[in-house]
Structure 1
Amino acid sequence: MAGAFVMGSGVWSMHFVGMLAFHLHSSVKYDIWFTLFSMVASVISSFIAFYITMPKNINWYKIAFGGFFMGSGIVTMHYMGMAAMIMPVEVSYDKELWALSVLIALIASYAALLLFLRFRNQSSSSWLKWLSAVIMGFAICGMHYTGMKAANFHAQHGIMGGEVSIDFFLLYGVTVTIFFILMVSWGAMFLDRHVLERLAYHDTITGLPN
């Protein structure tokens, strides 16, 4: 659950940090419910993917299903986040670039699961883990900005003028989410390295070593 929250909300945060950096020179707000549902979709799809691939003996079709669920969640999160934009502009998508963004999301998801399966039994940090994190970051960013490239914004004459406005609900939401990501990550590592280790090596009643 902690891993699904960190993965899902991390992808969601990357998307909306990118949206905060995107300027249309028009007033843009975000629908609260669509924005929250986009995060839920990303977290749930990550949980399903991790849950399917959690057993030690993994068949290829479980990895395929897990990658499909995670990739679908990322795509759903991105385009639901786009649909959450409230603005006097209509959005259409280039079909080829849209398909490419979906393909990148699926490839990134399969890569995430394969790396998860490869390193989950290694407790120590290594350069391969850092490299895998960098690769995943570039892959998810690639999906996001490919999807943004696929978007075409159509406005009527005179609508695109005006100052750029920042949705402070979105800004605070992303900030709080990143804070929770750090707290959940720290809590999971503390539980894994201290609490579970003590439960494994010490008697819970007497406190003596097993």
Structure 2
Amino acid sequence: MQTSKTCVFCGNPANTREHIPAKQFFKGVPENRLITVPSCSDCNKNFQKNEDFFRQFLAGFLMDRSDHAKKLMENEVSRSIKRKPALGIQMFSQMKKVNLYTKSGIYLGPKTMYRVSDLDYKRINSVVEKIIKGLFYHEFGETIPEDWIIRIVWINPKRDKELGLTEMAKELKWNVIKDDTFAYGHQFVPETFQSIWILDFFKTPIFYILLINRTTAKEN
């Protein structure tokens, strides 16, 4: 078990705290409503670049479905892009407007499509892993054992149907940090804390995470 003097992410001595998810998602939310966990300055610094990209990706990806994501994209994200033009150029080069139709041909209107590269997946998954490590500590007061596997699944209609995620979500214990921004649900095995999680950003379930030890993984 890690203590409050140990960094949740690397195991080195903690000299600060880290917000879960990053504080940049929660403008105007009182500090006592946000989740923080023990961290070290090196980890905090190393997270920053990918977390900036993570916020910009989610805001751009979901701005057609969320007024809050759209406002975030038009304000904080736009200002961030002005400070770091290269990241903005990369992001916008991977976005385009498309006309969306149902399978029966009903027109649903223009939507933003984002092409996710292999590097993007890696960067985004690293932030999701950081969030899960923080939430695990927040819920159980322990760090995820080093020999456990963190499986991250990006939720889409096909995966939702295959895994039964809509029904599964109804059985999870949910914690809403900010109604229009972030919530998470989880369910765990007593004593071992092996668990399933769903991360919801801007009222949209985006990531399904399975935390299991290697023995369980081999059996499945």
The answer, yes or no, to whether TM exceeds 0.5 is: no
Higher strand share: 2
Higher helix share: 1
Structure of greater Rg: 1
More relative contact order, 1 or 2 (CA 8 Å, 6+ apart) = 1
